[in-house]
Structure 1
Amino acid sequence: MSAQPTILVVEDERDLADLYAMWVGEDYEVITAYDGQTALDRVSEDIDVVLLDRHMPDITGDRVLEEIRVAGYDCWVIMVTAVDPGLDIVELDIDDYITKPVTRAQLTRIIENLRVQSRYGDDGRRELQSLSNKMETLEDEHAVEDLTDTEAYRDLESDLKELSDSLVDGIDDG
């Protein structure tokens, strides 16, 4: 990432998009898109972080995310949405998921955490953090007892443990 990362704010509620842009605009270059199609038009190799609303009237955030990944852009994607997280987030290729309302402190902390992670290369740590964030998001929203009854959650736990163990083994071998 460059010294001043570029953030693409994708939010169909203009006032909210402008608020997010203002919050992060002091520390980052900001590009704003008020709908999914504009987001797809504006995403590029120059984008470091995408703040992505999940439900938009023209193209859903899930679809925008899919198009970003298919195009091969390696940006961090943070889903910022009013949609409570369900087990379907396990399948989304996102780095974090925040439920609205979001505070300035939450947003800037998550972005800064991603920036710190990016400094340490990507030997599986990004995926580990993504899996960990998904697990934390689900556990914040649902009873762990209910989650452990689902195959998707058990798979998430297993993937997290497996990746964590392989990273630890890699450190031990190095």
Structure 2
Amino acid sequence: MADSGEGDAVGGTVIVADDNEKVTDLYAGYLDPQYEVRRAYGGEETLERADGSVDVVLLDRRMPDLSGDDVLDELREREYSLQVVMVTALEPTMDIVDMPFDDYVVKPATEEELHEVVERQIVRATYDTRLNEYLRLTSKLDVLREEKSEEELEESDRFEMLTVLARSLYDDIQEMLDEHDLDADEPEGLIEPP
């Protein structure tokens, strides 16, 4: 039967989904207690365990009741803001180009590999959220700068607050990029100081 991991999880919620119970339990054991781990022993059970509180799904591609590819499609249709990592014995082929997963690990996966991929996906999700908020704020700043006079902007506490918030998010994003060596993923000129 499936299990919601107990313990002192601190890093987020992860679903480990594989029809091979030994593999599911092994991978779940690697990640618990750092993460809240939910075990799923098939595709249907994965969909039952998934909800808006899940951060990462480690998903096998070959499951008899519902394939990992189908589970992936259904998770994306539900529009959960979770990261999906395919963890499978299938060597990647060109068909993965059109698949909406976030990372791919070929089995057998080590404890270190699983911890690295889960951490990377949680960081990326946090980065995406902050980056989107930053882009929303800078869009507002740009419009106000175009439409309002310098004098109006200087007199506006709300504009100043928006500028401070955007700058704080910018600094957070830069710090996160530096801390996790993700700057290679940043498109040239995507973010600039507000």
**Percent of aligned positions that are identical:** 39
2:34 match: 27
Give the gaps of 5 or more residues in structure 1. Answer: 125-163
- Seen in structure 2, the aligned counterparts of structure 1 residues 3 and 118 have a Cα distance that, compared at 3 Å, is farther
RMSD of equivalent CA atoms: 2.0
Aligned-residue offset at 1:42: 1.2
Distance 1:118 1:69 in 2: 15
- The question of 1:170 aligning with 2:190 is answered yes
For this pair of structures, how many residues does the alignment match?
133
Distance 1:21 1:69 in 2: 23
- The question of 1:46 aligning with 2:53 is answered yes
Amino acid at match of 1:58: D
- Partner of 2:14, secondary structure, is strand
Displaced runs of 4 or more, over 6 A: none
Distance 2:124 2:79 in 1: 20
Amino acid at match of 1:168: E
- Partner of 1:72, secondary structure, is coil
- Partner of 1:7, secondary structure, is strand
Larger radius of gyration: 2
Distance 1:172 1:45 in 2: 31
Give the gaps of 5 or more residues in structure 2. Answer: 1-8, 133-184
Aligned-residue offset at 1:104: 0.5
Q: State TM-score, norm by structure 2.
A: 0.63
Amino acid at match of 2:59: L
Aligned-residue offset at 1:172: 4.2
* Residue of structure 2 aligned with 1:80, choices 76, 87, 102: 87
